[in-house]
Structure 1
Amino acid sequence: MTVIHVDQEREVKLFRNGRNQAVRIPVEFELPGNEAIMRKEGDRLIIEPKKKSGLLEWLATIEPWDEEFPDVDDGQLPLEDVDL
């Protein structure tokens, strides 16, 4: 990933893409992937690469399990070693 220093800037043109306003991102400012997160802070637009979510982030989004797990009888476990 390319590191962009704060002092680097480019003048860009805004244009319409259907009902949306758009901006062409110069090659030296390209972001990885094909999705990004945009937020507004005052008059500034901040665009950041969308982070890939891992297992912990996904687990944080699911609803808690309300049902009780059934008891497991030791007699139901295999008596011999199983090759996986």
Structure 2
Amino acid sequence: MPTERHVRLFRNGRNQALRIPREFELPSEEAIIRKEGDRLIIEPLRRRSLLALLATLEPLEDEFPDIDDLPPLDDVNF
């Protein structure tokens, strides 16, 4: 896979745009773009997993009551 390709910039309304060649297509419908010096960095926006989201949350300080009388597993409707 090539790591570099010449592309042309064009105007799309008031925005500057470029067509991304097929070999550089991103596996996403959305992306993050940032500027580092003269470079533009475009990265696919990946959905965070539930575990990654939960890892960012603060632990709960609340005390939860003990549950003494749990129903038998066959009587639980999911």
For normalisation by structure 1, the TM-score amounts to: 0.64
Name stretches of at least 5 consecutive residues in structure 2 with no aligned partner.
Answer: none
Alpha-carbon distance, 1:62 to partner: 4.6
- Aligned-partner residue type, residue 31 of structure 1: L
Q: How does 1:19-58 map to 2 (within 5 A)?
A: 19-58=14-53
**1:82 matched residue in structure 2:** 74
- Aligned-partner residue type, residue 31 of structure 2: A
What is the percentage of aligned positions where both structures have the same residue? 64
What is the root-mean-square deviation of aligned Cα atoms in Å?
Answer: 2.5
Contact 2:34/2:42 (8 A) holds in 1: yes
Structure 2 vs 1, CA of residues 26 and 71 (structure 1 numbering), >3 Å: closer, same or farther? same
For normalisation by structure 2, the TM-score amounts to: 0.68
Name stretches of at least 5 consecutive residues in structure 1 with no aligned partner.
Answer: none
Q: Between Structure 1 and Structure 2, how many residues are aligned?
A: 76
